[in-house]
Structure 1
Amino acid sequence: MTEMILTLFNGISLGSILLLIALGLAITFGLMNVINMAHGELIMVGAYITYLVQNIFMQYAPEKYFDLYFILSIPLALIVAAGVGVLLEVSLIRHLYKRPLDSLLATWGVGLILQQLARTIFGAPNVGVQSPSFLNGGLELGSITFPYSRIFILLLSLICLACIFYYFYRTASGRRVRAVMQNRQMAECLGVSTRKVDMLTFAIGSGLAGVAGCALTLLGAIGPTIGTSYIIDAFMVVVVGGVGALFGAVAGAFGIGIFNTIFEFLTNATLGKVLIFILIIAFLQWRPSGIVINRSRSLD
C-alpha cells in the first residue's frame, strides 16, 4: 500500500511539473498554432533568473532574508521570460504566422542561439540553486514522506492554471484573445487589435515557461539544456489533451505523469518511456483530436 501511494504521488508530482511546463505551450501552440521550439529555452531563462537572484541575495542580503529570494524569483522569472517572448514575437514569430514549418525551424534556431548565449554567460557546466529553508524536508504521514518541494510545485501549477482560467474566461482582455483564436477575421471586423492580442498571448505563454523554469530549480541542478529534456513531453501533453484546450492539458499532464510513473515502477525508466509513447500513439489513433475537442469555425 505504501508503494502504491508513493507511486501515485510521484505520478501526480510529475504531472504537475508537466502541467506547469505545458501551460505556456498550450497557449502558444494550442491557441496560436505556433510551434515554438524555443519554449524549452524560455524555461531555461526562468531557471537562470532564479540562479542570479539567489547569488545577489547571497552577496548583498542579510542571511535571515535569504529565503525571500525564491519568492522574488517567481514574478521576476515571469516578467523576464515574457519580455524575451515579446521580443521573439515582434522580431520573428509575427512574420511566420500560418507558416508552421518555417516557424518551427526559426524557433529551433533561436533556441540554439539562446543555449549558446547561456553557455557563454554562465558556462557549460550545470549550476546549483539552493532551495529555501521552508521547502526543505517533507510532510510525514506515517511511514510516508511527501517532499515539500513537490507539493509546492503542485500548488504552483494549480495557481497558474486558476489564473489563466480567470484571465481567459472572466476578463474582457481574455475574451478578446479567445475571439481572435476562434475567428480572427470576425474579431478584426469588430475592432479587435489582433496584433496586440498576438503579442500579449505569446508573452503570457512565455512568462509561464519562465515560472516553470523557476520551479525546476527545486528538483536539481540547472544548465543550458534544462528545457530540452522536457519539451517533447510538453508537446505530448498539449496534443493528448486537445489543441487549444486548457483543461485537456490538465488531463493530459496528469494522465501522462501517472501512467509514466506506473510503467517505470513496473519495468524501468527506459522501457517505461517506450510504453508511454506506445500508449499515446494508440490513444491518438482512437481519438486524434485529443481528450477535449474544441468546436469552432476556425478549426473546421
Structure 2
Amino acid sequence: MDALIPPLLNGSAVGALLLLAALGLTLIFGQMGVINMALGEFIMVGAFVTYLTQLVIPSSDISIPVALPAAFVVAGLLGLLLEVSIIQWMYRRPLDTLLATVGVSLILQQVALQIFPAQGVPVENPGWLQGQIDIFGYAWPYRQAFTILLAGVCVGALAAWLKYTSFGRRIRATVQNRDLAETVGVRTRNVDRITFFVGSGLAGVAGVAASLIGGTNSQMGVQYIIPAFLVVVAGGIGQIKGTIIAAWVIGVAMAFFADWTSGSLAQVLAFVLVVIFLQVRPQGLFTVRTRGLA
C-alpha cells in the first residue's frame, strides 16, 4: 500500500497540471473546432511571466499571487492576437489551424531562445510553498498540493462562469448550435474572441504552476501539449467533467509508468492507453448533445 501513495499523489499533481492546460484546449476546441497546438507555448509564456514578475517583485511570497493574474492576462492577449491575426480566417478547417498553430509554436520557441537562456531561468518557490505534508510516511511537497488547489479553483470559476453568467450561456449556445445561436442574436464572433482569450489565459495560469514544479525553458510547452490534447480527446470534446476525469487518470497513469520506466516512455505508454480507450469509446467519456435546425 505504501508503494502506491507516491505515484498516486504525484500523479494527481501531474493530472492537475494537465487539467489546467487542457481546460483552454477543451474550451477552444469544443466551441470553435480549432486545434491550437501553440497553447503549449502559452504555458511557457506563463512560466516566463512568473520569472519576470519575480524580477520586479523580489519577494516570492507576493510575486506568485501577482504572477497568476498577470500570466492569465498576458497569455490571454497573446491568444487573442493569434485569433484575430490568423485563426479567424481558418474556422471550420481544423487541419489548417493545426498546421498554422504548430508554426506559431515554433516561432514562439525561437523568440524565447533569443530572450532567455537556453537552459531556462529559475523561479523561486514562495515560503508558503516550501515544505512537505506527511501522508502515510510520504513527504508530499506543498507545491504539488497547491497545483491541485489551483486547478480546482480554475475549474470551479470556469464552471460557474459558463453556468451562471449570460456570457456563459451564449458560449453554451454557440457550442450546441452556432447557426441557431446567430439567429437569436448571439454575436458569435465576440464569443469566439473572448473564449480564445480565456482559454489561452488558463494556459498561462498552468505555466505559473509548471514553473514552480519544474522551472522554465523554451521547450517546456512541448511536454504538456500532447498529454493535454489526449486529455481533451479522452474526456470528450468540450466536456469539462470528462476533462477532469481524463486528466486525473492520465496523470496517475503517467506517474505509475514513470516508476517503472523513463519519463518519455511513460508518456508513450499513456498515449497507447488513450488510443486503446478510444478504440472502445471513440467519442470519449462524454459527448455534447446538440440540436439541429431541421
Query: In which range does the TM-score fall when normalised by the shorter chain?
Result: over 0.9
| Structure 2: 5+ residue stretches without partners | none
Q: Distance in 1 between matches of 2:56 and 2:120?
A: 18
In structure 1, the partner of 2:242 is 248
Q: Distance in 1 between matches of 2:244 and 2:269?
A: 21
Q: Paired residues, what number?
A: 293
User: Residue 25 of structure 1 contacts residue 235 of structure 1 at CA under 8 Å; is this kept in 2?
Assistant: yes
What amino acid is aligned across from residue 42 of structure 1 in structure 2? F
TM superposition shift of 1:107: 1.1
In structure 2, the partner of 1:2 is 2
User: Residue 14 of structure 1 contacts residue 257 of structure 1 at CA under 8 Å; is this kept in 2?
Assistant: yes
User: Residue 227 of structure 2 contacts residue 267 of structure 2 at CA under 8 Å; is this kept in 1?
Assistant: no
User: Residue 31 of structure 2 contacts residue 174 of structure 2 at CA under 8 Å; is this kept in 1?
Assistant: no
SS at match of 2:133: strand
Work out which of the residue numbers 95, 119, 122 in structure 2 matches 1:125.
119
SS at match of 1:218: helix
- Give per-residue Cα distances to partners, 1:252-296, cap 9 Å, x unaligned: 100111122223334554554343222211110110000112221
In structure 2, the partner of 1:160 is 154
TM superposition shift of 1:32: 1.9
In structure 2, the partner of 1:110 is 104
What amino acid is aligned across from residue 9 of structure 2 in structure 1? F
Q: Distance in 1 between matches of 2:91 and 2:266?
A: 37
User: Residue 11 of structure 2 contacts residue 256 of structure 2 at CA under 8 Å; is this kept in 1?
Assistant: yes
Is 1:187 the counterpart of 2:220 in the alignment?
A: no
Q: Distance in 1 between matches of 2:131 and 2:124?
A: 13
Choose 120-129 or 221-230, whichever is displaced more.
120-129
- Give per-residue Cα distances to partners, 1:204-256, cap 9 Å, x unaligned: 10000000001111112211111111110000000000011011000110011
TM superposition shift of 1:103: 1.1
User: Residue 30 of structure 1 contacts residue 238 of structure 1 at CA under 8 Å; is this kept in 2?
Assistant: no
Q: Distance in 2 between matches of 1:82 and 1:6?
A: 34
Query: What CA RMSD, in Å, does the superposition of the two structures yield over aligned residues?
Result: 1.6
Q: Distance in 2 between matches of 1:253 and 1:52?
A: 29
TM norm structure 1: 0.93
TM superposition shift of 1:127: 1.0
For 1:1-300, list aligned pairs within 5 A: 1-58=1-58, 65-141=59-135, 143-297=137-291
Q: Distance in 2 between matches of 1:185 and 1:137?
A: 53
What amino acid is aligned across from residue 259 of structure 1 in structure 2? A
Q: Distance in 2 between matches of 1:55 and 1:276?
A: 37
SS at match of 1:140: strand
- Give per-residue Cα distances to partners, 1:123-151, cap 9 Å, x unaligned: 32311111111101111245221110000
- Give per-residue Cα distances to partners, 1:43-83, cap 9 Å, x unaligned: 1111111010111123xxxxxx4410001000000011111
What amino acid is aligned across from residue 20 of structure 1 in structure 2? L
| Structure 1: 5+ residue stretches without partners | 59-64
User: Residue 10 of structure 1 contacts residue 261 of structure 1 at CA under 8 Å; is this kept in 2?
Assistant: yes
User: Residue 82 of structure 1 contacts residue 204 of structure 1 at CA under 8 Å; is this kept in 2?
Assistant: yes
TM superposition shift of 1:2: 1.9
Taking only the aligned residue pairs, the percentage that are identical comes to 47
TM norm structure 2: 0.95
In structure 2, the CA distance between the partners of 1:114 and 1:264, relative to structure 1 (3 Å rule), is: closer
